[in-house]
């Protein structure tokens, strides 16, 4: 399996990704984007070794490297926007398990494309690197980032916030940002530990948030926020410690940000229909896009959108031009403080139709097209309106189903929504019945409301 994914470099440390390869990636990046280059890394155990290799590669191909230290990914985005460099990279595997790592990079203002990833891979393989030596300086960009947030946010009224960094890179940053904004903070798992001993680095898996919810209840917080491993995603919990569906959080942001300024809003096509409906209610233009950070960000920038969001917990803000889990969390706190209502009440007003979780099925790359074709044929036979923005989506008058390939693993993902639970079961069974027996067996154990 290639480490060169659609949007970044990612693989299992020591098996798929090693320091020698990251050194060559550093040389290739400096060759592709000569000049000043920002470098950071997350809290993973393997990150110091891999980041050192990346920096060494950048220097050996002549880059003027500014080392940002250990940072959440939004600090890199901030530093690129507010500094002189036009390129940067951070060593991270985002929300993936502890044994994974990778390189997330940017060259210029646009997100990484498949063509850019192919250029990187080709440059690494050819080894035709620019010569060095470069220079190395350090920049405490996280401090400047905190100053920026302190100037932007001021609590309309004091709230109590439970901050769960999941032992990730947001731990040293998020609590201070909330305190400087005037909120009372209780910290949970805010000491970085790249083994992620307290929970999964992916809070979009709500099943890992039991201890977070208990901490919210125990300390009496007004709400909680859980960050992923590199801090570009956020998941919210209400005052009872119950996770708020990410689509509902996006709807709350839509209602806040489009109230006096209707604009397009970009969202991934597997989102609940409540997102589209909320955009229309606020006078905005719904812009569905294929799932994936780079695809959402590209469409978000192209449309001059005030907001974009993914089911995974990425929230993009036009004010920034990128996604930022901490900015999202501070915006949620501002929203709650302004409204003077509990998060449970605001989220409870948003009624999602019955919808499945994002169901992942193991599927070899060689079989993925066949599986999608099977589902498409079954849906066509039932009179569905088909689209192929990403995978196959089948729309019916009373629901939809979507099957798409994973961009990071040998998997396909399935999701469906319908007006009633009975119809949701029918759509789910339609997709399951079209797949091979092995997939039907895996789907037989899936539980959903």
Could you tell me if 27 and 153 are in contact, meaning their C-beta atoms sit under 8 angstroms apart?
no
The residue with tokens 């550093």 is 26
Of the candidates 2, 46, 61, 94, the residue annotated as catalytic is 94
Alpha helices in 207-324 (DSSP H): 210-219, 246-257, 273-281, 293-302
Among the listed residues 183, 191, 210, the one whose alpha carbon sits nearest the alpha carbon of residue 199 = 210
Is 207 noted as a catalytic residue in this protein?
Answer: no
| H/E stretch holding 264 | strand 264-268
Structure tokens at 246: 């990410």
Alpha helices in 282-436 (DSSP H): 293-302, 325-339, 343-348, 365-381, 421-434
Could you tell me if 79 and 133 are in contact, meaning their C-beta atoms sit under 8 angstroms apart?
no
DSSP string, 327-357: HHHHHHHHHHHHHTS-HHHHHHT--PPPB--
Residue 230 is classified by DSSP as: T
Structure tokens at 87: 């390129």
Report the distance separating Cα 81 and Cα 304, nearest Å. 17
Structure tokens at 405: 């390939």
Structure tokens at 299: 């469409």
Report the distance separating Cα 143 and Cα 157, nearest Å. 25
Report the distance separating Cα 346 and Cα 249, nearest Å. 10
> Could you list the active site residues?
94
């Amino acid at each position: 399996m290639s480490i060169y994914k659609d949007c970044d470099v990612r693989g299992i440390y020591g098996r798929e990704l090693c320091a020698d390869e990251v050194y060559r990636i550093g040389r290739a990046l400096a060759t592709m984007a000569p000049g000043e280059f920002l470098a950071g890394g997350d809290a993973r155990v393997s990150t110091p070794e891999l980041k050192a290799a990346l920096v060494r590669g950048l220097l050996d191909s002549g880059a003027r490297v500014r080392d940002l230290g250990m940072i959440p990914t939004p600090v890199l985005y901030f530093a690129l926007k507010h500094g002189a460099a036009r390129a940067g990279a951070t060593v991270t595997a985002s929300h993936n398990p502890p044994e994974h790592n990778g390189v997330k990079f940017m060259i210029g203002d646009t997100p990484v494309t498949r063509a850019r990833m192919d250029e990187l891979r080709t440059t690494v393989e050819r080894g035709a690197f620019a010569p060095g030596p470069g220079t190395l300086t350090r920049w405490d960009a996280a401090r400047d980032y905190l100053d920026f947030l302190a100037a932007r946010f001021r609590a309309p009224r004091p709230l109590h916030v439970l901050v769960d960094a999941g032992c990730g890179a947001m731990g040293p940053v998020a609590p201070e940002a909330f305190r400087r904004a005037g909120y009372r903070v209780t910290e949970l798992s805010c000491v970085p530990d790249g083994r992620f001993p307290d929970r999964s680095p992916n809070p979009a898996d709500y099943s890992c948030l039991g201890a977070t919810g208990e901490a919210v209840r125990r300390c009496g917080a007004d709400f909680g926020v859980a960050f992923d491993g590199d801090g570009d995603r956020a998941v919210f919990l209400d005052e009872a410690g119950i996770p708020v569906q990410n689509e509902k959080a996006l709807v709350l942001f839509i209602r806040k940000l489009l109230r006096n300024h209707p604009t397009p809003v970009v969202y991934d096509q597997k989102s609940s229909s409540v997102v589209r409906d909320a955009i229309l209610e606020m006078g905005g233009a719904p812009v569905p896009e294929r799932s994936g950070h780079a695809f959402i960000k590209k469409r978000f920038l192209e449309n001059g959108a005030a907001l974009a969001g993914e089911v995974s917990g990425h929230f993009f803000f036009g004010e920034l031009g990128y996604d930022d889990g901490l900015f999202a969390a501070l915006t949620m706190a501002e929203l709650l403080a302004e409204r003077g209502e509990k998060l449970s009440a605001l989220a409870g007003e948003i009624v999602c139709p019955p919808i499945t979780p994002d169901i992942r099925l193991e599927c070899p790359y060689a079989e993925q097209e066949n599986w999608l074709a099977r589902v498409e044929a079954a849906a066509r036979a039932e009179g569905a309106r088909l689209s192929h923005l990403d995978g196959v989506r089948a729309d019916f008058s009373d629901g939809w189903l979507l099957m798409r390939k994973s961009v990071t693993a040998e998997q396909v993902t399935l999701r469906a929504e319908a007006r009633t639970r009975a119809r949701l079961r029918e759509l789910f069974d339609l997709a399951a019945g079209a797949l091979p027996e092995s997939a039907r067996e895996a789907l037989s154990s899936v539980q959903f409301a």
